[in-house]
Amino acid sequence: MSLTVGVLAIQGDVHENITSTKTALKELGIEGIVVGVKTAEDVSKLDGLIIPGGESTTIGQLSLVNSSLKIIKEKIEHGMPVLGICAGMIMLSKTANDRVVGKTDQPLLDLLDIKLERNSFGRQKESFEADISMSSINIPKFNGVFIRAPSVSDVGSGVEVLAKFNEKIIAVKKGNVIGVAFHPELTKDVSLHKYFINLIKKSKN
Amino acid sequence: MLPLSGERTDAKGIIKDKSESGNILRGTSTLKRGFAHMLKNGVIMDVTTVEQAQIAEDAGAVSVMVLDKLPSDVRKAGGVARTASIRIIEDIMDSVTIPVMAKCRIGHVYEAKVLEETNVDMIDESEVLTPADENHHVWKWDFTTPFVNGARSLSEALRRIEEGAAMIRTKGEPGTGNVAEAVTHIKKVNDELRSIKAVYDSGDNQVLIRMAREFKVSYDLVEETAKLGRLPVVNFAAGGIATPADAAYLMSLGCDGIFVGSGIFNADDAKERARAIVLATTFWNESEKVKEAQKMIDERQSMLGLDVKTLELRMQERGSSA
């Protein structure tokens, strides 16, 4: 059994996620291919999807243009595992507010019942690296790279909080949907990508 | 994982801080270069007002660059071009959610400090403004805020990276609406990267060190770049981009994204054109979509282009030899 993992290749750090996923597959000894996906047709073939970091307003608007947003939503609702990173987590959320600008009128997937605060830790000068912990998924220590990162200000029922930093929620999970505020693809450690691949493998069985 | 070639881990711009949940680091190369990676496959638009910034954000720009005047107007006005009004930069930061950049003059350490204090997301040490010091660029490792610099060749790009640039844009000729120089320079950098990679693969270290001496940068940076076969930071194209087809063409040459200066807001159809250039950048390898984008604009409303040969002021040459 071979897995097909896609990285949404509209805008952002697609390449780094492809590399991390390939490394993770290799370390796990699981067969699979990793592809950048843009169109609805590409998305329809996937077993799992990563929505990478980038600008959520750009990714949202442009996925709307080529109608990939609709099929992504359907596939995830039917159980396809998805990992949303930074902008990707914003895309998964129900509502997004900017810390300074306020309510944003941007296309979202509305799959995770969470309230999002964009640019929650401040602007680029406040971007930071710090050790974080996701014990409930057996990743006790991870180098969190936070770049103009969002945080989750409120979670609905059934949404599990995977990690907090300075009292702010930075990683969440509900069933097949994971959202993280930091960038695992910018570090050497591929343990979160490995966890995600195992989730895809389980959902395919 | 990011390439961290040439990284200085003891840089003054790196801030170690304590927080409730543990130690934190700011201003590291991972954070600065990582920020630029988030902009990839996107369009950064020059703006001079809040209204233009909002049009850019609505069009799907990944960031805006705040200037006092658009490059073509800088060219017309003559005189000394300086960093934009802080009040306008702050107003724009308060009205859009995408990152906000601003330009400082080449070598002008204090314009850069003012911009860092203003909290812009990235500083562009730019040849569009009048250089404050032709011989010395800003030592960018002293800053927590990341910098982008222009370059016309591999050696110039590596010199800027060695000074701490977290992103490069290959220079065109700003404010001309003429894409020729941008095309020339991205091709030149690509050719140089291909040949340096070939030297690396051949294992001839003597040639690599000779190149490092010619380029006036460290051997390590040359070797790591040669090994990668690309710049160790994100590389955008800039200068003279005026239409969706211009943007798609530059993307096809291997740029990571596009800066558009005067091309949008000096055209008479700015709103449509901004959207069209974003579409063409995203879907550059689908000819049908590029055509759709090109159809959204009207050539009669494009900015009037300038022949680069007739120019008295060649902004691209500023700071190049240093």
Q: What's the confidence (pLDDT) of residue A135?
A: 96
Greater pLDDT, B208 or A1? B208
Chain-chain contact of B62 with A54 (C-beta, under 8 angstroms):
yes
Angle CA B232–B317–B182, to nearest 5: 60
How large is the average pLDDT for residues A57-85?
92
Q: What's the confidence (pLDDT) of residue B39?
A: 98
Could you write out the DSSP letters of every residue in A150-203? Answer: -EEEEE-TTPEEEEEETTEEEEEEETTEEEESS-GGGSS--HHHHHHHHHHHHH
CA distances to A55, B115, B301 from B25, in Å: 23, 21, 48
B113: nearest Cα among B8, B12, B233, B7: B12
Q: Residue A97 phi/psi, 5° resolution?
A: -120, 145
Candidates B34, B61, B97; nearest CB to A118 = B97
Q: What's the confidence (pLDDT) of residue B305?
A: 83
Domain assignment of residue B194, yes or no? yes
At B87, list the tokens.
């009040």
Q: Residue A121 phi/psi, 5° resolution?
A: -95, 5
**Structural contact between residues B165 and B7, judged by C-beta atoms closer than 8 angstroms:** no
Q: What's the confidence (pLDDT) of residue A109?
A: 92
Interface of B with A in 99-118 (CB under 8 A): 99, 116
Q: What's the confidence (pLDDT) of residue B130?
A: 95
Contacts of B62 in chain A (CB under 8 A): 11, 54-55, 58
Task: Provide the domain count of chain A.
Answer: 1
SS3 letters across chain B:
CCCCCCCCCCCCCCEEEEECCEEEEECCHHHHHHHHHCCCCCEEEEECCHHHHHHHHHHCCCEEEECCCCHHHHHHHCCCCCCCCHHHHHHHHCCCCCCEEEEEECCCHHHHHHHHHHCCCEEEEECCCCCCCCCCCCCHHHCCCCEEEEECCHHHHHHHHHCCCCEEEECCCCCCCCCHHHHHHHHHHHHHHHHHHHHHHHCCHHHHHHHHHHHCCCHHHHHHHHHHCCCCCEEEECCCCCCHHHHHHHHHCCCCEEEECHHHHCCCCHHHHHHHHHHHHHCCCCHHHHHHHHHHCCHHHCCCCCCHHHCCCCHHHCCCCC
Q: What's the confidence (pLDDT) of residue A52?
A: 97
Q: What's the confidence (pLDDT) of residue A20?
A: 98
Q: What's the confidence (pLDDT) of residue B311?
A: 85
pLDDT for B65-97, tens place per residue?
999 999 999 988 988 999 999 999 999 999 999
| DSSP three-state, residue A122 | coil
Query: Which are the catalytic amino acids of A?
Result: 86, 183, 185
Identify the CATH number of the domain in which residue A171 sits.
3.40.50.880
Residues B127, B11, A16, A204, Cα dihedral to 10°: -150
Cα-Cα end-to-end distance for chain A: 9
Of the pLDDT bands very low, low, confident and very high (cuts 50, 70, 90), residue B17 is: very high
- Inform me whether the pLDDT recorded for B320 exceeds 90: no
pLDDT for A123-138, tens place per residue?
999 999 999 999 999 9
| DSSP three-state, residue A133 | strand
**Structural contact between residues B6 and B63, judged by C-beta atoms closer than 8 angstroms:** no
Domain assignment of residue B222, yes or no? yes
- Inform me whether the pLDDT recorded for A174 exceeds 80: yes
Task: Provide the domain count of chain B.
Answer: 1
How large is the average pLDDT for residues B43-57?
97
Contacts of A63 in chain B (CB under 8 A): none
Of the pLDDT bands very low, low, confident and very high (cuts 50, 70, 90), residue B46 is: very high
Question: CA of B295 to nearest chain A CA: how many angstroms apart?
Answer: 16
Question: CA of B124 to nearest chain A CA: how many angstroms apart?
Answer: 14
Q: What's the confidence (pLDDT) of residue A1?
A: 79
| DSSP three-state, residue A9 | coil
- Inform me whether the pLDDT recorded for B193 exceeds 80: yes
Residue numbers of the domain that contains B56: 40-297
**Structural contact between residues A137 and A129, judged by C-beta atoms closer than 8 angstroms:** no
Chain-chain contact of A123 with B99 (C-beta, under 8 angstroms):
yes
pLDDT for B232-244, tens place per residue?
999 999 999 999 9
Q: What's the confidence (pLDDT) of residue B307?
A: 84
Cα-Cα end-to-end distance for chain B: 31
Domain assignment of residue B315, yes or no? no
Of the pLDDT bands very low, low, confident and very high (cuts 50, 70, 90), residue A113 is: very high
Domain assignment of residue B52, yes or no? yes
Pick among A17, A58, A69 to test the B interface (most B CBs inside 10 A): A58
How large is the average pLDDT for residues A164-185?
97
Angle CA B91–B95–B98, to nearest 5: 115
Residue numbers of the domain that contains A167: 3-204
Q: Parallel, antiparallel, or unpaired: how do β-strands A102-103 and A93-98 relate?
A: antiparallel
Mean pLDDT of chain B: 95
Q: What's the confidence (pLDDT) of residue B308?
A: 82
Whole-angstrom distance, CA of residue B98 vs CA of residue B52? 13
Q: What's the confidence (pLDDT) of residue A106?
A: 87
Whole-angstrom distance, CA of residue A16 vs CA of residue B256? 13
Ramachandran region, residue A158 (left: φ > 0; alpha: ψ -120 to 50; beta: rest): left
- Please tell me if residue B13 touches chain A, with a CB cutoff of 8 Å: no
Q: How many CA atoms lie within 13 A of A34 on its CB side?
A: 19
CA distances to B24, B128, B206, B243, B261 from B124, in Å: 26, 10, 35, 23, 13
Q: Please name the residue of chain B whose CA is at the shortest distance from the CA of residue A98.
A: B97
Domain assignment of residue B27, yes or no? no
pLDDT for B25-35, tens place per residue?
999 999 999 99
- Inform me whether the pLDDT recorded for B60 exceeds 90: yes
Element (H, E) at A21: helix A14-28
How large is the average pLDDT for residues A19-29?
98
Kindly state the DSSP code that residue A92 receives in the 8-state scheme. Answer: H
B103 is catalytic: yes
- Please tell me if residue B284 touches chain A, with a CB cutoff of 8 Å: no
- Inform me whether the pLDDT recorded for A23 exceeds 90: yes
Q: Please name the residue of chain B whose CA is at the shortest distance from the CA of residue A54.
A: B38
**Structural contact between residues B116 and B108, judged by C-beta atoms closer than 8 angstroms:** no
Identify the CATH number of the domain in which residue B127 sits.
3.20.20.70
B1: nearest Cα among A47, A56, A37, A145: A145
A87: nearest Cα among B33, B35, B30, B248: B35
Interface of B with A in 289-318 (CB under 8 A): 289
Of the pLDDT bands very low, low, confident and very high (cuts 50, 70, 90), residue B163 is: very high
Element (H, E) at A112: strand A112-118
How large is the average pLDDT for residues A45-51?
97
Domain assignment of residue B318, yes or no? no
Whole-angstrom distance, CA of residue B31 vs CA of residue A148? 10
Candidates A87, A118, A186; nearest CB to B2 = A186
| DSSP three-state, residue A96 | strand
Of the pLDDT bands very low, low, confident and very high (cuts 50, 70, 90), residue B252 is: very high
Whole-angstrom distance, CA of residue B28 vs CA of residue B13? 8
Angle CA B36–B41–B46, to nearest 5: 70
pLDDT for A138-157, tens place per residue?
999 999 999 999 999 999 99
Of the pLDDT bands very low, low, confident and very high (cuts 50, 70, 90), residue B170 is: very high
At A59, list the tokens.
């990714």
